[in-house]
Amino acid sequence: MGITKKIGFSEEIIEMSEILKAFGHPARLEIVKFLINSPTCICGDIVEFLPLSQSTVSKHLSELKKAEIIKGTISGNSICYCLNESTLKKLQNYITILQTNSSSKECC
């Protein structure tokens, strides 16, 4: 989204739109699901888990990292990934607010 298209929107809305956009691909959702179910940070296992090439998985990891959904730390020759609990908590709080506000309204 260009800078001019963000004018007039709150920082919270812009941040949430970037986070939600990062979830907009099945591979990224699978990566997050994989990390949720993993007891520790994961290095090379993600590529073996998905039916995608290493370079494609790297692009998806990059998008998730850019949206701060995951964190990566260098360990030797590889990068270990884990979920960014802070970002997931923000998303959870935002969705809770949406649910709370929508449940108080009547609809068809």
Question: Which pLDDT score is estimated for 38?
Answer: 85
Residue 90, domain extent: 9-103
Residue 51 maps to a domain: yes
- Pairwise CA distance, residues 98 & 78, whole Å: 39
Residue 2 has pLDDT above 60, yes or no: no
DSSP class per residue in 32-85 = HHHHHT-SS-BSSHHHHHSSS-HHHHHHHHHHHHHTTSEEEEEETTEEEEEE-H
Residue 3 maps to a domain: no
Residue 2 maps to a domain: no
Question: Which pLDDT score is estimated for 26?
Answer: 96
Residue 32 maps to a domain: yes
Contacts of 91 (CB under 8 A, 6+ apart): 16, 19, 20
Neighbours of 27 (CB within 10 A): 18
Arithmetic mean of pLDDT over the chain: 87
Give the residue among 75, 81, 68 at the shortest CA–CA distance from 42. Answer: 81
Structural domains counted in the chain: 1
Confidence of residue 16 (pLDDT cuts 50, 70, 90): very high
Question: Which pLDDT score is estimated for 28?
Answer: 96
Neighbours of 56 (CB within 10 A): 13
Task: Please state whether the predicted TM-score (pTM) of the whole model is above 0.75.
Answer: yes
Residue 70 maps to a domain: yes
Question: Strand pairing of 70-75 and 78-83?
Answer: antiparallel
Residue 52 maps to a domain: yes
* Residue-wise pLDDT tens digits, 64-105: 999 999 998 887 777 889 999 999 999 999 999 888 877 766
Q: What is the CATH number of the domain that holds 17?
A: 1.10.10.10
% of the chain surpassing 70 pLDDT: 92
Question: Which pLDDT score is estimated for 104?
Answer: 65
